[in-house]
């Protein structure tokens, strides 16, 4: 858990989660770690963009349904768990750590979690982290199919 701090608000708190199709369901009990946004090439390709994940010790997780959970070895020391039904990219674990991380998008309620910083963002300086001043584009959604 050296990358980002444990979040003070999460010890003992139970977070439920699932993949998109619901075939993989789980819970994880805090403390959870702050979210690093990882821009490494592996995360970029597997997550579709940067990867935002929180983490906890492996014994903090309870897999309620995992028949479609498949593990993919993305590098020599790392496995990533995904749902072979819907393709959701759920988990990350290193062979040499007792920590497993979960993509925050899999959690039913990730609103208490905060971003701790970026990893490998300097490798992609034009992409980088989203600055706090990133404009809110929600109001533009209703007009997204306008030709103009
Ligand atoms: Zn699924
Ligand atoms: Zn990464």
What is the C-alpha separation between 48 and 104, in angstroms, rounded?
14
- The DSSP bridge partners found for residue 71 are 81
Residue 103: both structure tokens together = 């993509």
CATH architecture of the domain covering 14-124: Beta Complex (2.170)
Which tens digits make up the pLDDT trace of 86-135? 999 999 999 999 999 999 999 999 988 988 888 887 777 666 566 666 67
Residues measured by CB to lie within 5 Å of ligand 2, the ion: 38, 40, 43
User: Domain residues of the chain, as ranges?
Assistant: 14-124
3-state secondary structure of 120: coil
User: Would you state the pLDDT for residue 145?
Assistant: 57
Determine the distance separating the centroid of ligand 2 and the alpha carbon of 37, expressed in angstroms.
8
Q: For the beta carbon of residue 5, count every other beta carbon within 10 angstroms.
A: 13
User: Would you state the pLDDT for residue 132?
Assistant: 62
Residues in the chain: 148
3-state secondary structure of 89: strand
Determine the distance separating the centroid of ligand 2 and the alpha carbon of 3, expressed in angstroms.
12
């Amino acid at each position: 858990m050296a990358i980002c701090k444990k979040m003070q608000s999460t010890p003992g708190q139970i977070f439920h989660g699932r993949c998109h199709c619901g075939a993989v369901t789980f819970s994880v009990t805090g403390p959870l770690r702050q979210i690093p946004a990882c821009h490494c090439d592996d995360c970029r390709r597997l997550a579709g963009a940067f990867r935002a994940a929180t983490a906890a010790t492996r014994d903090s997780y309870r897999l309620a349904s995992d028949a479609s959970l498949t593990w993919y070895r993305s590098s020599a020391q790392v496995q990533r768990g995904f749902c072979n039904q819907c393709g959701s990219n759920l988990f990350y674990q290193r062979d040499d750590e007792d920590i497993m991380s979960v993509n925050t998008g899999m959690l039913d309620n990730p609103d208490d979690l905060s971003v701790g910083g970026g990893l490998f963002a300097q490798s992609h300086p034009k992409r980088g982290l989203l600055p706090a001043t990133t404009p809110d584009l929600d109001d533009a959604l209703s007009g997204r199919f306008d030709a103009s």
